[in-house]
Amino acid sequence: MTISLPIAGNIFCIVGGASLVGSATAAHFLEQGAAEVRVFDNFVFGGEAALSHIKDHPRLRVVRGDVMRLPDLLAAQRGAHGVLQLAALMTLNMDRDSWTGMDVNIRGVQNSLEAARHNQVGKFVFASSNAVYGYGPGIRGELVEGTPFHSAGAPPAAILYGATKIIGEQLCRAAFQKHGQDYVVLRYSTVYGERQHYRAANALYIIETYDAVRAGRAPQIVGDGSETKHFVYVGDLARANAAAFEAAATDVAVNTSGPAPITTLELVRLVTEIAGGGPAPEFIGETPGKVRLTSGGAFDIVHDRAGAALGWRPQVEMREGLTRLIRWLEEDRARNAP
């Protein structure tokens, strides 16, 4: 069994690859000399646009398929040395359609693990989430890999999402224990960066804030703005994915969060500053019935174990990452302007 799997010279299949993280990771793996990068996606949520920066690369292969169809995965993973499992419905979509959410987030992982086993894939990297620590006021202090799952006071969709990620991790562990499938679990914190999609509630907040400020409207903050968010820049996650394959590590789950947490108020001020200034934020109450994902707590997602196990640490501070995101946003809108 392969435990350390170099990116250079090997073939990777990124399941759910036409996504924010998937497209950045595909580009990074190609730069690092991967023999081939296969982007597997059903293009329901993922879009061609996410791959525009690499679509003509000679070592990129785009494979249309669906994680619910095992034959699609068997074919796509054939001859692959590593599989990165990203495909998932996040909380907002889980709220709309928990049926599909269970399919993609659980059966999709089972199918992918079965395909990997059949194809003797050397290493499987599973994109989990800090959602495995749950939501609500119980989330406080340092979140380390042994922190339990809090759910009291959280909306159903958020709990469902977190629970599917707990299950995905354990399906990997069971595959390791039963069939020796090497794997690494990365618990992504909230991702942001260029080619940001409009589906993730917390990351979308950055764009909403920017748009408000640019239009001369006051950005809205629910509550007093003291809530913690802990983002991670997409390029740092692309490096984390590479490290998960390359490190001599298996059967481990690690947090991959950005350099430091930020409060909502600090985030809004930073976005406003990068936007060149604008109105002061407006503090508002909860919108009944709207799914919110923030905790109300003050926490710090500790990524020390990722350093120890994978030699990874985040490099991009929020000021730099937000500047890159906003630059891309403006360029993208200019390109797509009528």
70 touching a second copy, by CB under 8 A: no
Phi-psi region of 223 (alpha: psi -120 to 50; beta: other; left: phi over 0): left
Q: In whole angstroms, how close is the CB of 168 to a second copy at the nearest point?
A: 10
Q: Which is nearer to a second copy, 145 or 246 (CB)?
A: 145
Query: Both tokens of residue 65?
Result: 């398929």
Contact 43, 20 (CB under 8 A): no
Residue choice 2, 42, 98, 323 for contact with a second copy (CB under 8 A): 98
Q: Which is nearer to a second copy, 136 or 225 (CB)?
A: 136
Q: In whole angstroms, how close is the CB of 117 to a second copy at the nearest point?
A: 13
Q: In whole angstroms, how close is the CB of 251 to a second copy at the nearest point?
A: 11
How far is 162 from 147, CA to CA, in rounded Å?
A: 13
Do the bridges between strand 220-222 and strand 282-284 make them parallel or antiparallel, or are there none, so unpaired? parallel
Query: Both tokens of residue 162?
Result: 């977190």
Q: Which is nearer to a second copy, 12 or 135 (CB)?
A: 135
Q: What is the DSSP string of 206-259?
A: HHHHHHHHHTTPPPEEETTS--EE-EEEHHHHHHHHHHHHHSS--SEEEEE--S
Specify the stretch interacting with a second copy by CB under 8 A; choose among 101-109, 201-209, 277-285, 292-300: 101-109
Specify the stretch interacting with a second copy by CB under 8 A; choose among 98-106, 119-127, 188-196, 233-241: 98-106
Residues 117-176 that bind a second copy (CB under 8 A): 134, 138, 145-146, 148-152, 156-157, 159-160, 163-164, 166-167, 170-171, 173-174
**Three-class SS string for 168-189?**
HHHHHHHHHHHHCCEEEEEEEC
315 touching a second copy, by CB under 8 A: no
Q: Which is nearer to a second copy, 66 or 169 (CB)?
A: 169
Q: Which is nearer to a second copy, 267 or 293 (CB)?
A: 293
227 touching a second copy, by CB under 8 A: no
How far is 146 from 254, CA to CA, in rounded Å?
A: 10
Q: In whole angstroms, how close is the CB of 156 to a second copy at the nearest point?
A: 4
Q: Which is nearer to a second copy, 54 or 139 (CB)?
A: 139
Q: In whole angstroms, how close is the CB of 315 to a second copy at the nearest point?
A: 29
288 vs 151, 199, 206, 292, CA distance in Å?
19, 20, 21, 10
How far is 181 from 2, CA to CA, in rounded Å?
A: 9
Query: Of 206, 180, 235, 213, whose CA–CA distance to 282 is shortest?
Result: 213
> Which amino acid type is present at position 202?
N
What residues make contact with a second copy under the rule CB under 8 A? Answer: 95, 98-99, 102, 106-107, 110, 134, 138, 145-146, 148-152, 156-157, 159-160, 163-164, 166-167, 170-171, 173-174, 177
